[in-house]
Amino acid sequence: MTLALATIRPGEPEIFAALQGEGASLGRPCVFVRLSRCNLSCHWCDTAYTWHFDGDNRPHKDGKTFSRLDNQVTMDEGEVAQMVLDLGGHLPVPRLVLTGGEPLLQAPALARLLAFLPGWQVEVETNGTAAPTPALDAMLHQFNVSPKLSHSGNPAELAIVPERMAAYAADKRAFFKFVVAKPADVGEVSTLAATYNIPPSRIFLMPEGRDPATLLSRMAWLSEICLAYGYALTDRLHIHLSGDTRGT
C-alpha cells in the first residue's frame, strides 16, 4: 500500500508547504504532494523528473533523462499523511494540493491518503485524461484541469479524452487551466470550450514559462486575450518567488 512520489533530493519525497502559485486558489497557503509518473510527455514539461526516466526516448526540450532511483520514492499513505499534517496542520483552513506528474494515475492510493486527512480542502492538478475513482472523487473539492494543446507535442488522441473533458466541463468543482505559449494556441482553447461546453468563467489561461521574464512577456498579450474572451489570467507565482526549483 504505497504512493510513488517525486523527490526533492534522492530519497526525500517532494512534500512541501507553499502558496498555491497557479489558478483559482492562487496565493492560498497549501501543502503540496508531488506524485511520480505521467501518461503524457509534454516537451516543455517543468517536472520531467516525474516521468522522463533513463531509457525513455520521447523528446523533451531539455534533452535529458533522469535516474528513476534518484527521482522516485515510495511511501506508505499514513507516512505521507503525517508529513502533510506536520507541514500544514496549523492552518485555519488546511489545504492540500495533489500534483505531479499525473496524480490520478494513483487514484486508489490517493483515496487511502485522504482518509487520513479529514477536514482538509483538497485540490488536484490533473492533465484531464484520467478519472478519480468514486471513493477519491467524493473526497476532492477542486480539480485544476490542464488539458494539453498541440504545442505540448502530445498526439491529440492521447491528450484529449472526450468523455473526461465532458465530465470535467459539467463539474462545477473543475477549473480549466490552459498553458499557452503563443497567441495562436488560444484558438484551440476556444474550440475545446465550444465542443465541451466549458463556461468561460471556469477557464484560466496561463503562460508557458519557467522564468519571470518569459511569464511577464507572455502575460502582456494574454491579458488582452482574456479581456476579449472573458477568460481569467493566471500567473505562476512560485516562479517569481523561488524560480524553477523543486519543493517550492
Ligand X SMILES: Nc1nc2[nH]cc(C(=O)O)c2c(=O)[nH]1
Annotated binding-site residues for Mg(2+) read 47
User: Which of 18, 91, 167, 181 is close enough to bind ligand X by CB under 6 A?
Assistant: 18
* Residue at grid coordinates 497567441: 183
Binding mask 78-117 for ligand X (x = CB under 6 A): ---------------------x------------------
Asked if residue 20 binds ligand X (CB under 6 A), the reply is: yes
Specify which residues 35 forms β-bridges with: 5
Sheet with 29-34: strands ordered across: 15-19, 29-34, 95-99, 121-126, 142-145, 174-180, 203-207, 232-233
Does position 101 interact with ligand SF4 (CB under 6 A)? The reply is yes
Contacts of 41 (CB under 8 A, 6+ apart): 51, 52, 56, 58, 59, 60, 153, 154
Q: Where are the beta strands (DSSP E) in the chain?
A: 2-9, 12-13, 15-19, 29-34, 72-76, 95-99, 121-126, 142-145, 174-180, 203-207, 232-233
From the list ligand SF4, ligand X, none, pick the one residue 190 interacts with, judged by a Cβ distance below 5 to 8 Å according to partner type: none
Q: How far is the CB of 5 from ligand X (least distance, A)?
A: 13
Q: How far apart (Å, rounded) are the C-alpha atoms in residues 170 and 197?
A: 8
How far apart are alpha carbons 188 and 229 in whole angstroms?
13
127 binds ligand SF4 (CB under 6 A): yes
Helices (H) then strands (E): counts for the chain: 9, 11
CB of 136 to ligand X, least distance (A): 17
Cβ atoms of residues 106 and 114 within 8 Å: no
Build a one-symbol-per-residue string for 165-194: x at contacts with ligand X by CB under 6 A, - elsewhere: ------------------------------
CA-CA-CA-CA torsion sign (238, 40, 52, 79):
positive
Residue 238 as a binder of ligand X (CB under 6 A): the answer is yes
Select the binding partner of residue 22 from ligand X, ligand SF4, none (C-beta < 5 to 8 A, by kind).
ligand X
Q: Does 25 bind ligand X (CB under 6 A)?
A: no
To ligand SF4, the closest distance from the beta carbon of 147 in angstroms equals 9
We find the least distance from the C-beta atom of residue 101 to ligand SF4, in angstroms, to be 5
Residue ranges in contact with ligand SF4 by CB under 6 A: 38, 40-42, 45, 47, 50, 100-102, 127, 148
Residue ranges in contact with ligand X by CB under 6 A: 18-22, 32, 99, 125, 238, 248
